[in-house]
Amino acid sequence: MAPLPKTLEKFTAPIGTPVDRFISEKQEHFPYAKGELSQLLRDIVLASKVINREMNRAGLTEIRGHVGAENVQGEQQQKLDVIADYRFRMALQKGGETCAIASEEEEDIIDTQHYYSKYVVTIDPLDGSSNIDSNVSVGTIFSIYRRVSPIGTPPVKEDLLQKGSRQVAAGYVLYGTSTILVYTTGHGVNGFTYDGSLGEYFLSHPNITFPKESKFFSVNEGGSNTFDKKLSDFLQYCKDENYSGRYIGSLVGDFHRNLLNGGIYLYPESGQYKQGKLRLLYECNALAFLAEQAGGIATNGIERVLDIKPEALHERTPFFVGSKGLMQELADYLT
């Protein structure tokens, strides 16, 4: 093939590795798998593209604002909460690779009727949805586990109530200035940016790790007067050391920023949230898995998040996650 003229080179530069190809290439990490996990990840990717479209149209359509009901958490559902939950459920059910789904928006597990499927999924379809009307970044968080009940039988709640250490894949989608998919299958963390003109995610952040040096902390100080004194002392230390406070109020946005720039995210128990606010299955396990794969640490202030055995689908927990150095400094204060 004849070389292209110099004037055309900038129009023919490589566009990068699409996520579908990347997923296929990494199947070798799972010798027991036969393509089902790869297809399951593709189903999640597809649903995220649909949600991205709806997010971009939200200001021009009637899908912003409250739907007029509360979810199982007792929180006001946004219209996009309901839409996101529906889109992901439909994508996973039609994909056929999961026998059960646990969604933050649903009270009980969702039986997909695919009893020969090997996997189950826990998902927060639209985290940070209270920020939608303010045009602040929101996200989707997901975890994938191998089922523990016999293949060929109906799923049971125990399929979902597994320790985070048993995750085979986890990730999030951040819908912001650009839409980014970040996921791990236990072999490092990679990020993909969505190109709407081509309708595809492309590898943009390979082998993500927390920076070694970091001086950012993220916490909602609105309830700080009820924080444990040890935690309050740590926050004062951060301020005395001139660390920078950065808090969006959107978990995925805060985590993503700290993952790229270094930092620590803290959501402790408080006067309003005696057990913490964040959900173990739908938020904390996935982000803890990602954090550890990126060289970070995630705890509930006492133990490793991935070692916690869930007792209920909507169990809450305090959550501290971030760069190893800052997390070790926090541990010095909490012990």
Residue that terminates a domain, selected from 205, 240, 259: 205
Binding residues for substrate: 127-130, 220, 247, 265-267, 277
Residue 189 falls inside a structural domain:
yes
Mean per-residue pLDDT over the chain, rounded: 89
Gap between the Cα atoms of 16 and 109, Å rounded: 38
- Show binding-site residues for Mg(2+): 104, 124, 126-127, 283
Tokens 């959550």 -> residue: 319
CATH number of the domain at 270, please. 3.40.190.80
pLDDT on residue 69? 52
Rounded to 5 degrees, what angle do the CA atoms 271, 297, 201 make?
105
Q: Contact at 8 Å (CB) between 71 and 77?
A: yes
Band (pLDDT 50/70/90 cuts) for residue 60 is: very low
- Taking residues 227-241, what's their average pLDDT? 95
Whether the pLDDT of residue 62 is over 60: the answer is no
How far apart are the C-alpha atoms of 185 and 312, rounded to whole Å? 25
Q: According to the model, what pLDDT value does residue 14 have?
A: 58
Residue 74 φ/ψ, nearest 5 degrees? 80, 20
Domain membership of residue 265 as a residue range: 216-334
pLDDT band at 233; cut points 50, 70, 90: very high
Please write the tens of the pLDDT for every residue from 82-111. Answer: 889 999 999 999 999 999 999 999 999 999
pLDDT band (50, 70, 90) for residue 170:
very high
Given this model, what pLDDT does residue 263 score? 96
Please check whether residues 198 and 249 belong to one and the same domain. no
Only one residue has tokens 């794969």, namely 293
Q: Which residues are annotated as a binding site?
A: 104, 124, 126-130, 220, 247, 265-267, 277, 283
- The per-residue pLDDT for range 184-229, each reduced to its tens digit, is 999 999 999 999 999 999 999 999 999 988 889 999 998 889 999 9
Number of separate domains in the chain: 2
pLDDT beyond 90 at 61: no
In a domain, 7, yes or no: no
The alpha carbon of residue 288 and the mean position of all alpha carbons in its chain are separated, in whole angstroms, by: 9
Per-residue pLDDT tens over the stretch 17-58: 999 889 888 776 665 556 888 899 999 999 999 999 888 776
